[in-house]
Amino acid sequence: MNESTNIFKALSDKNRLRILKMLQIKPLCVCEITEILQLAPSTVSQHLSILKKEGFILEDRDGKWANYLINQRPADQRISAVLSSLDFWIGDNQAVEDDKQKVKVSDRYKICGT
């Protein structure tokens, strides 16, 4: 039961849900997510840490970049089930729709510098 509780706790924050939806579009770095959500980098890092710990996302290092992406093969099948049903639960949310447009035009080189 604790594992299920931890999954639901990870999903209990609207910004973490928004992050998951953004990462379903493309991998992003902390500064891109920070820019889109308008949150402090430390807050975004905390959200990413929780999502990563529960197996929703992965971190991929590429030089100086830490890219975050959806875990396509989580060990826990419940994670896959949640990820595949996000559109059903929050797909019509206006903030999620706005985020989607921002992600599509996000340019890390302009946001984060080179």
DSSP string, 55-112: TSEEEEEETTEEEEEE-SS-SSHHHHHHHHTHHHHHTT-HHHHHHHHHHHH--HHHHT
- What digits encode the pLDDT tens for the residues 69-97? 999 999 889 999 999 998 888 878 899 88
Domain ranges of the chain: 2-106
The whole-angstrom separation of Cα 61 and Cα 93 is: 31
Closest-CA residue to 59 (of 69, 51, 47): 69
- What digits encode the pLDDT tens for the residues 14-64? 999 999 999 999 999 999 999 999 999 999 999 999 999 999 999 999 888
CATH 1.10.10.10 assigned to domain 2-106? The reply is yes
**pTM, whole model, 2 decimals?**
0.91
